[in-house]
Structure 1
Amino acid sequence: MSHATPHPQSGQTVTVTADLPGLGSGSHRFTVEDWNDRVFGRSWMSMDGNPTALAYAVRSAGARLRTDDEVLYGKVDGFAHLVHVSEITQGGAE
């Protein structure tokens, strides 16, 4: 596991700018649960068969996001998504 401590914005809702499956591109209110590797105990890159990780893999390749574990697990309107920390455009709960 890459991250020993929770993400500083765990439990907060932030704005991300991303093309999220089922939601389209633009700004979305993303509630951060934690680093993906802390939630699942492993990198998103080794989560074979997980639909959220698969969707992120396809999306991150198309968006040319860095291939690393600076990836957050959270939800938009109750649906799970993975986002790269570089996609956070505004932080903090509102």
Structure 2
Amino acid sequence: MIRVYFNPDYTLGFPLTGEDVKIENLQHIADVDATDLREAFEICQNEDLPWVSREEVTPDPLVADGTRSVAPGDVLELDGEWFLVGPADFQRI
């Protein structure tokens, strides 16, 4: 299970590094039934249907009707470890 968090502190004008992420500011938005960060990221993309409606996803009630895709700056938690989503990879924080 991978927990998905939106990061309200991230902007494209001020990209964050792992040291800049404030865990206490993250907003938990969903749990994804996946064991791989890349797989979870791909599941969390809006395509034909909102990603929160996929069977692998248990969304928070605040986003159950739809939300933006997971993007760089957001955070995934796997087995108690936190990972910042980057433009091309994941950075452990």
User: Under a length normalisation based on structure 1, what TM-score does the superposition of the two structures give?
Assistant: 0.31
Q: Normalized against structure 2, the TM-score is what?
A: 0.32
- Which has more helix, going by share of residues? 1
